[in-house]
Structure 1
Amino acid sequence: MSAQYLKNINFEQTLKLMDLVEYQPGQVVSRTLVQNDHVGITLFSFDKGELISTHASTGDALINVLTGKARITIGGKDYTLAEGESIVMPNNVPHAVYAEEKFKMLLTVVFPY
């Protein structure tokens, strides 16, 4: 068997990513699929009104909204994203994520080599 780099996910099975992380009242819930020196892939669910406060990352981060609606702040500018929409948060630029309503996202972060 070859090495498996993904974790917390079933292999060779049809999946709905948004079903792999549940909503919890008053919480942000995450499920890490990959985390290493080069890439991070994490599923998140946010209850309405929950947030990840302003911070910066050394990697470029791609948000894919799976369901619901979020406000993404990048470098002080707000963007509203809904189901099926994506945005890139450049490395070393402060950003934050706020749940306008319950929402789920897939976050992919690519770090410099």
Structure 2
Amino acid sequence: MNDIFKKGAILDMAQLVDYSEGGIISKQVLKSNAGNITLFSFDKGQGLSEHTAPFDAMVQVLDGEVEIKIGGSPFVLKKGETIIMPANISHALFATERFKMLLTMIRG
């Protein structure tokens, strides 16, 4: 695991991942049998195509703006907002502006 995610230290997640022009960056923060936490940055226009996951996933927007579709319903989230995507329901992400998020997935 990367030393950038040192345990027992105060972390400013939004500052720990840069933007990549035309790209997406992901950094795994924690991983265990119970689930994982991943830090992402998306340049404007980037996204994740529609998919499902067998467990709930929580998105915390750290910077910027994203449109998240859950079961076909669109939600626009901005910095400081959070949404929980339920297990086994299709979802997709599209960066309406460049954005950063912390994704927490918990296995049931």
Q: Same fold (TM over 0.5)?
A: yes
Distance in 1 of aligned mates of 2:30 and 2:53 = 16
The 4+ residue runs of structure 1 with deviation greater than 4 A are none
Distance in 1 of aligned mates of 2:94 and 2:102 = 14
TM-score normalised to structure 2 length: 0.93
2:69 aligns to what SS in structure 1?
strand
- The match for 1:73 is 69
Letter paired with 1:49:
G
Letter paired with 2:60:
N
- The match for 2:86 is 90
Distance in 2 of aligned mates of 1:58 and 1:48 = 28
1:84 aligns to what SS in structure 2?
coil
1:101 aligns to what SS in structure 2?
coil
Superposition pairs of residues 31-110 of structure 1, within 5 angstroms: 31-110=27-106
Distance in 1 of aligned mates of 2:80 and 2:100 = 11
CA RMSD for the aligned pairs? 1.0
Larger radius of gyration: 1
Is structure 2 residue 22 aligned with structure 1 residue 18? no
- Structure 1's unaligned 5+ residue stretches are 1-6
TM-score normalised to structure 1 length: 0.89
- Sequence identity, in percent? 42
